[in-house]
Structure 1
Amino acid sequence: MVDKTKAGFDFKSQLLTTIPSLRAFAVSLSGQHDRADDLVQETVVKAWSKQESFEPGTNLKAWLFTILRNEFYSQMRKKGREVSDPDDYYTSQMSVHPNQYGSVDMKDFLHALKQISEDQREAIVLVCASGFSYEEAAEICGCAVGTIKSRINRARSRLQELLGVSGEADYGPDAHSAAVIKQTLTA
């Protein structure tokens, strides 16, 4: 790496003298003084970290203006992908059910799974949890495909009975908890 100060070029002082011009250019791009200050700061930081790539004898001001312009357009592209939510309207509409519901549901499911017959448990685990096809599960269990389908059907029915599940709405928080969560979100 060439020491640029030996060649009569002082990067730091030259960089500092361009800051007023950089700020004026940033204001013209962004239209906001605070954003312009942020752009200039980002430009100076990038230029300082990449100063070894600047060639003395070329136009430092043009190099800095290019960095600033590229940073401005990068921020604009990024801003185009972001959603403005100054009053937390969108954020307040988001919710996640508390972890304990999933944990309790899983414990209940595992307890119920232990209560079904071994051949039904094996079939449902192979197909529904492990992703084997009916044919592959039949081969693993040494039985006919129809037998696997029958075991899975009986296992599902028995699990629904043991868990007291009648439909999709039975998963997640109970009706009372769901009402509390909804009330909190709309308040």
Structure 2
Amino acid sequence: MSADRSTAGAAAAGFKRDMIAALPNLRAFAVSLIGASDKADDLVQDTIMKAWAKQDSFTHGTNIKAWLFTILRNEFYSQMRKRGREVQDSEGTLTERLSVHPEQYGSLDMRDFRRALDTLPEDQREALILVGASGFSYEEASEICGCAVGTIKSRINRGRQKLQEILYIEGPSDYGPDALSAPVTSQAFVA
């Protein structure tokens, strides 16, 4: 068992030695990819950290330099892809304009809507759910309910009017964010 430990220790020492010996070449390759020496140093450091963490996957006796260059190249391209998806906003200008309506109001509105929907007569509720929520046409809903298309339209109209009464909806401004948060979030998109 001690022979296995000494062999593993020698392999780890050899791996470390070979990795350190490859550093100047790795750095030169990184500089040729990036151009800036400070960023190249960061890339080499990331490469060494990844190689050290994955040294079990390296086959001893093969070309460690090629293995390290492959890791560096893959890391470089991964960082470039990531930067392509990121937006530079060091001044915070873009962040200041971002805003989101509070979620709790939507949850409360949905709860109120469900309660109001439950108070409707069953035929009106069924027609509203079939056409409004499930996406069926008036004709399809009339076939499902076994009644005329005009009856479905009438049930939906009466159901909508009753929901507006129950929920105190007078117009389009009653939908969406409340009066306090609407000016804040809509102003954010004006810039």
TM bucket, shorter chain = 0.7 to 0.9
Paired with 1:57 and 1:103, the residues of 2 have a C-alpha distance of 62
Which residue among 90, 93, 98 is the counterpart of 1:94?
Answer: 98
Which residue among 38, 41, 46 is the counterpart of 2:45?
Answer: 41
Match of 2:25 in 1: 21
| AA in 1 matched with 2:124 | Q
For structure 1, which segment, 174-183 or 103-112, has the greater mean C-alpha deviation from structure 2 after superposition?
174-183
Paired with 2:100 and 2:71, the residues of 1 have a C-alpha distance of 41
Match of 1:142 in 2: 146
For structure 1, which segment, 104-113 or 94-103, has the greater mean C-alpha deviation from structure 2 after superposition?
104-113
- Contact persistence 1:121–1:155 (CA under 8 A): yes
Q: How far does residue 68 in structure 1 lie from its aligned partner after superposition?
A: 0.9
Q: Deviations over 1:120-157 (max 9, x none)?
A: 11211222223444344334423223311221122223
Paired with 1:22 and 1:133, the residues of 2 have a C-alpha distance of 65
TM-score, normalised to structure 1, is: 0.76
- Contact persistence 2:101–2:181 (CA under 8 A): no
Paired with 2:183 and 2:128, the residues of 1 have a C-alpha distance of 34
Q: Which runs of 5+ in 1 are unaligned?
A: none
| AA in 1 matched with 2:86 | E
Matched, 1:119 2:85: no
Structure number with the bigger relative contact order (C-alpha 8 A, sep ≥ 6) is 2
Which residue among 79, 82, 87 is the counterpart of 2:83?
Answer: 79
For structure 1, which segment, 166-175 or 80-89, has the greater mean C-alpha deviation from structure 2 after superposition?
166-175
Q: How far does residue 34 in structure 1 lie from its aligned partner after superposition?
A: 3.8
Q: How far does residue 72 in structure 1 lie from its aligned partner after superposition?
A: 0.9
Match of 2:3 in 1: none
Q: Which runs of 5+ in 2 are unaligned?
A: 1-6
Paired with 1:52 and 1:178, the residues of 2 have a C-alpha distance of 56
**Identity between Structure 1 and Structure 2 (%):** 64
- Contact persistence 2:96–2:188 (CA under 8 A): no
Paired with 2:188 and 2:73, the residues of 1 have a C-alpha distance of 45
Figure out how many residues of one structure are paired with residues of the other and give that number. 184
Q: Deviations over 1:17-73 (max 9, x none)?
A: 222332333233223344223311221233234445545454322331232122112
- Contact persistence 1:123–1:137 (CA under 8 A): yes
| Secondary structure in structure 2 of the residue aligned to 1:47 | helix
Paired with 2:73 and 2:142, the residues of 1 have a C-alpha distance of 64
| Secondary structure in structure 1 of the residue aligned to 2:147 | coil
- Contact persistence 2:113–2:167 (CA under 8 A): yes
